Structure 1
Amino acid sequence: MKPVVLTCGEPAGIGPEIAARAWAALADRIPMMWLGDPRHLPHGTPHRVIETPQQAAALSPDMLTVLPHTFAAPATAGIADPANAQGVIDVIARAVDLVCQGSASAICTAPIHKKALKDGAGFGYPGHTEYLAALAGRTDVVMMLASDQLRVVPATIHIALSEVPAALTPALLRRTIEITQTGLQTQFGIPAPRIAISGLNPHAGEGGAMGVEELAWINTLVTTMQGEGYDLRGPLPADTMFHAAARATYDAAIAMYHDQALIPIKTLDFDKGVNVTLGLPFIRTSPDHGTAFDIAGKGIANPSSMIEAIRMAHRMATNS
């Protein structure tokens, strides 16, 4: 099995330390290689530097396999150095090249600090996902948050709640459903996915009493796509979609906006949620948290989400 490539992320954040701890937990089961500057690993991390990704194909239970990428400066925990911004960006691009060339099975990205990248290197993307989409040819992508208890996709993401009704169009929701279905089939090994669709408004509009979008077009789109062979249910009231009995009836849920999707999964499985980008021509996962500058370098960062992200990337690669 080809290795999962772990990007270093922001070297002043918790990325290097949770990568090292995740490797320690999974080294005897999943081949992986860390792509970054060895100076940024926690002091004392047992590691071996390789020259080519092919050298990382075998399991390395005794030492973390490192494909080196030299950064401009050392890292000080908790303080982003603008000199390292370009290195963070270049590592992401290099990881994409590795997986697209077939040298890696998947990418698991550590958290980046978007302001640091913008200030230090003029990074012109809202975040990881948009940059990865650009590297892949600006393909349509969606963000899935996944754990063993729930998979959920927000149709709209990082916009103000007041902007959601205008941004949420039939074309956007259709494309989100299509990408989610394809991802579930090709990367999660679910031949006939069951997908639940939330309403936009409280009680899914309650027949127009609490909003009209469901009556105006969401109902029609769901019915149309059901006729095309999609196993959809909804639009459903979001407040009754996420309890255990409801979750047993679908393989993934599509929510209409950011918090409608992220609140349930973070409530159910805060430490083990994984960010998955669907729609890319390669597998990408990431822990569902940020750089955590306030605890970086203290040895207390919880690696659970990184561990789950690596496991999920490996599973998805096996299913593909």
Structure 2
Amino acid sequence: MTRLPLALTMGDPAGIGPEITAGAWRALREGGTVFAWLGDPACLPASLPVKEIETIEQAASVFSNALPVLPLSLSAPVRAGVPDSANAQTVIDSIARAVGLAKAGVAGGVITNPISKAVLRRGGFPHPGHTEFLAELCHVPGREVMMLASPMLRVVPVTIHVSLREALDTLSEDMIVETGLTTALALKQDFGFDRPRLAVAGLNPHAGEDGMMGREEIDMIIPAIERLRAKGIDVTGPMPPDTMFTESARQKYDAALCMYHDQALIPIKTLDMAHGVNVTLGLPIVRTSPDHGTAFDIAGKEIAEATSLVAALRLASVLSENRLNHKEGLPS
């Protein structure tokens, strides 16, 4: 586990973020994964023991007895399940402050509670989502890569939050190569693989069937694979997307590079929705998040499961320690 406390953002306070934060603290309070929550304590469950702290370094000393909170103030009262864009700025401030702590080296990583993109957009947030905002805060816009990881599978979509039509129009050989290089580096420095193995999905049925069902594999994907191999990456493909996620196929690679959002996310959410974690690669900091949304429809009903958030916190702790060890030349 990481030597540094982790920074957990507030997320949308009207969603299930406060409930799963409470659940995660109860699950981890004696488990070695220390985190501080950045938000307004007023929106946390009343039964949760809370301790406001001034610096994240104080989190470890109180964590076993209470949830450490770096307090922020919301602009409007919170009603569970009823999001309010008046609180958008505080949600944004929570993310920015968490990133600042990680960049300063006093937090081991950032874990983000779910946000509502629509609510934040009404509050003036210009970004498509967390990932792009984090890249801007870290001064690496355009280099961010999204991975979904679970004990059963790791997937990386080359194109992310765009329509399928736009994904097909913007996918390129260079994008595949850049995403592959970022993924291979993250698997090495964060996940501890000495020689990461990548599998690249085809775009078309049967991976194009030698051009009979599309030429993207021949014209774009195979050249990208050859360039990755020339850079020393262990990569196979293009693999037919309908067979590369079987149990036996998954044993042959450490991460799957997919051409568009749903090609990557459908298999991992089908296989292991509860333990899936969103990891942002290509940043100078560690960032994870649970693989689900705000769930406004069940917020406040005390039925939200904290399983994915617990997995995100635990994975961030491991990734943070691995990255520190990698920098220091120590084994992961």
The two structures have a TM-score, normalised by structure 2, of 0.94
1:226 to 229, 233, 239: 229
SS at match of 2:242: helix
Residue matched to 1:289: 292
191-200 vs 70-79, greater mean Cα deviation: 70-79
State the 1:22 CA deviation. Answer: 0.7
Aligned partner of 2:280: which letter? T
On the 8 A contact 2:109/2:316 being kept in 1, the answer is: yes
Q: 1:53 aligns with which of 52, 56, 75?
A: 56
Specify the code of the residue in structure 1 equivalent to 2:147: M
Following superposition, the deviation at residue 228 of structure 1 comes to 2.1
**Does the CA contact (< 8 Å) of 2:177 and 2:227 recur in 1?**
no
- 1:134 alignment counterpart: 136
Q: Which residue of 1 aligns with 2:86?
A: 83
1:301 aligns with 2:304: yes
Residue 20 of structure 2 aligns with which residue? Answer: 18
Structure 1 counterpart of 2:24, which letter?
Answer: A
Within 5 A, what are the aligned runs for 1:1-320? Answer: 1-29=3-31, 30-58=33-61, 60-120=63-123, 122-139=124-141, 140-320=143-323
Residue 66 of structure 2 aligns with an amino acid whose one-letter code is M
Question: 1: distance between equivalents of 2:101 and 2:64?
Answer: 22
Runs of 4+ in 1 over 4 A off after TM superposition: none
**Residues matched between the structures, number:** 319
Do the aligned residues in 2 keep the contact of 1:28 with 1:59 (CA within 8 Å)? no
SS in 1 for 2:179: helix
Amino acid of the structure 2 residue aligned with 1:293: F
- Superposed CA offset, 1:220-243 (max 9, x none): 221232122110000110111001
In 2: Cα distance, 1:58 partner to 1:142 partner:
35
Mapped to 1, the partners of 2:5 and 2:79 lie a distance apart of 29
Structure 1, unmatched stretches of 5+, are none
Cα distance, 1:59 vs structure 2: 6.3
TM-score (norm 1): 0.97
Determine what percentage of the aligned residue pairs are the same residue. 53
CA distance in 2, matches of 1:103, 1:273: 26
What is the distance in 1 between the residues matched to 2:61 and 2:201? 44
Query: What is the alpha-carbon root mean square deviation over aligned residues?
Result: 1.0
Deviation by residue 1:93-144 (Cα, 9 ceiling, x = unmatched): 0001111111210110000111111112x10000111110111113401100
- 1:174 alignment partner, SS class: helix
8 A Cα contact 2:51 2:62, kept in partner: no
SS of the residue 1:34 aligns to: strand
